[in-house]
Structure 1
Amino acid sequence: MANTPQAKKRIRRNANRATVNHARISRIRTFIKQVEAAIADGKKDEAAEALKKAQPELARGVARGVVHKNTASRKMSRLSKRVAALG
């Protein structure tokens, strides 16, 4: 249990950050799902457009520290590969 005022504040701050970070991760997942849905439907133009929107979201997640840079890079690479294969 937190005893000092600093520790109590840290608990409050961490809870707020967790909420914000969860929202960011959820937003990134939504963009990725849009790309995957377009790929599943076989719509290359839609998939390419969705990928264009997903890439900055993943990059923003890396910049904010909610996603590891290698994870984001791997996801972008795999999605790009799948979109290119639709041709």
Structure 2
Amino acid sequence: MANTVQARKRARQALDARAHNASLRSRLRTAIKAVRKAVEAGDKAAAQQVFQQSVSVIDSIADKKIIHKNKAARHKSRLSAAIKALGVAA
């Protein structure tokens, strides 16, 4: 355990930040799953709509540096490719 006052305070703040970051990561995963679910359902219009909302969530979490910007770009690219593949299969 931390010995100094400032070290104890940093430990408290780190716990709060960790909880906040975990909730943001959960939001990210939920947004990605929503798009995947829409793609699996085969409804391209619904998938595109959910994708637009998810892009906003992904970008905001990348801006806060919860995930790296390249990881955010990779998620968006793969989700977009999955949606585009719906049109080819149909």
- Structure 1 length as normaliser, TM-score? 0.97
Question: Structure 1 residue 46 and structure 2 residue 42: aligned?
Answer: no
- What is residue 65 of structure 2 aligned with on the other side? 65
- What is residue 22 of structure 2 aligned with on the other side? 22
Deviations, residues 30-70 of structure 1 (Å, cap 9, x unaligned)? 11111000101111011100100000111111111111111
Aligned residues: 87
**Structure 1 unaligned spans of 5+:** none
C-alpha separation between the residues in 2 aligned to 1:64 and 1:12?
Answer: 20
SS for the counterpart of 1:86 is helix
C-alpha separation between the residues in 2 aligned to 1:12 and 1:77?
Answer: 37
C-alpha separation between the residues in 2 aligned to 1:63 and 1:12?
Answer: 24
- Structure 2 length as normaliser, TM-score? 0.94
**Structure 2 unaligned spans of 5+:** none
Aligned structure 1 segments of 4 or more residues deviating by more than 3 angstroms? none
